[in-house]
Amino acid sequence: MVDKSIIGTEMGGSHMLVEQGKVREFAKAILDDNPVYLEDDPPVPPTFTMAMAHWPAPSGGQGQGLSKLGLDLMRVLHAGQEYEYLGEIKVGDKLTTRSQISDVSEKEGKRGGTMTFVTSETTFTNQRGEDVLIARTILVQTSKAAS
Amino acid sequence: MDRVSAHFEDLTEGDEITDWPPIENISRSHFVRYAGASGDFNPMHHDDTIATKVGYPSVFGHGMFTAGVLSHYLTDWVGAGNVRKYAVRFKGQLYPGRTLTIKAKVTKKYKDGDENRIDADLEVVDDQGSVLITGSATAALPSRG
């Protein structure tokens, strides 16, 4: 059981310079051979910011943050991911993120036990102060270890 | 130039796309390459010893690998700069050797300000008939002319 009072908890932030080589590497990893990613001024793939999701935040990293919220990482799975594209992200942009817990809900699992869904929302802001992306990560904690 | 196969005038609500080429024989190399590109080195995606110890038949792909593959079918369809919303729910695991098939359905066609938009439902299934991802997207489509 995760306390609903964690909604609004600030999860820290991170920085990323959008590098051309990383964009190409990411496009190749999702099997995307669109030649637009080989040009000088490409857009970035829709899920590109996953490339910074695993960088530790100054506050201690995502895993440590989740533990502090009472989540047991051994029972947590990635249930879903959502993006709202508010503006363009281009190579050369410097992105700054800030994250917070935006929702907590519970649902009875099909095989018994309670599943707790926790949504963490990250806003990406570019070097001009424009919000360009909102990303939501939906995690689910099962009442038993994942199997 | 970006490649876009869909134009607003050519789509109708209810249109289904089921003829996109499948991706055959997904391998561990796909997962390792995605681990490197994303920085997600959860051992469930590259270490069979650990994955089988906790009860999985083998390593399985990152949900966001499959979501990334799905997103490039989406951007090939609507254009890389034209996606306004993209959402996925993970329903099943992708195991090595499987073939991925991607489908889309136009659920809504409308104007939003000066943009010609569509909403679409998306789905990734494997060759065992398992649904791996259900998703949705909103895109601003170019017009012919």
Average pLDDT in the B33-42 region? 95
> How far apart are the CA of A104 and the nearest CA of chain B, in angstroms?
16
* A51: nearest CB among B2, B33, B37: B37
Tell me which residue in B65, B74, B90 faces A79 most closely, judged by beta carbons.
B90
Has this prediction a pTM greater than 0.95? no
Q: What is the ipTM of this complex?
A: 0.95
Compute the average pLDDT of residues B50-58: 94
User: Which chain B residues in 46-75 lie under 8 Å from chain A, judged by CB atoms?
Assistant: 54-55, 63-65, 67-69, 71-72, 74-75
Provide the residue type at A40 as one letter. Answer: D
pLDDT at position A39: 87
Q: What residue spans define the domains of chain A?
A: 4-141
Chain B residues touching residue A146 (CB < 8 angstroms): 54
**Across A109-130, where does the E strand assignment appear?**
114-125
HSE-up of B124 (CA within 13 Å, CB side)? 29
Instruction: Please write down the HEC assignment for all residues of B124-143.
Output: EEECCCCEEEEEEEEEECCC
The per-residue pLDDT string of chain A (147 residues; one tens digit each, 9 = 90 and over) reads 567 888 998 888 889 999 999 999 999 999 999 999 888 888 899 999 999 877 655 544 455 567 777 777 778 889 999 999 999 999 999 999 999 999 999 988 777 688 999 999 999 999 999 999 999 999 998 876 544
How much is the pLDDT for A147? 47
Interface contact B87-A53, CB threshold 8 A: no
- C-alpha triplet A106, A120, A90: angle, nearest 5°: 145
Task: Count Cβ atoms within 10 A of the Cβ of residue A108 and give its class: 0-12 exposed, 13-18 middle, 19 or more buried.
Answer: exposed
For residue A60, what pLDDT is reported? Answer: 46
- Compute the count of residue pairs across chains A and B with CB atoms less than 8 Å apart: 113
Q: How far is A61 from chain B (nearest CA, A)?
A: 13
Average pLDDT value for residue range B76-100: 96
Residue pair B66/B91 in contact by the 8 Å Cβ criterion: no
Pairing, β B100-112 against β A131-141: unpaired
- Residue A73 has a pLDDT of 74
Class of domain B8-140: alpha beta
Q: What is the CATH number of domain A4-141?
A: 3.10.129.10
Mapping DSSP to helix (H, G, I), strand (E, B) and coil, where does residue A75 land? helix
In whole angstroms, what is the distance from residue A143 CA to residue B13 CA?
Answer: 40
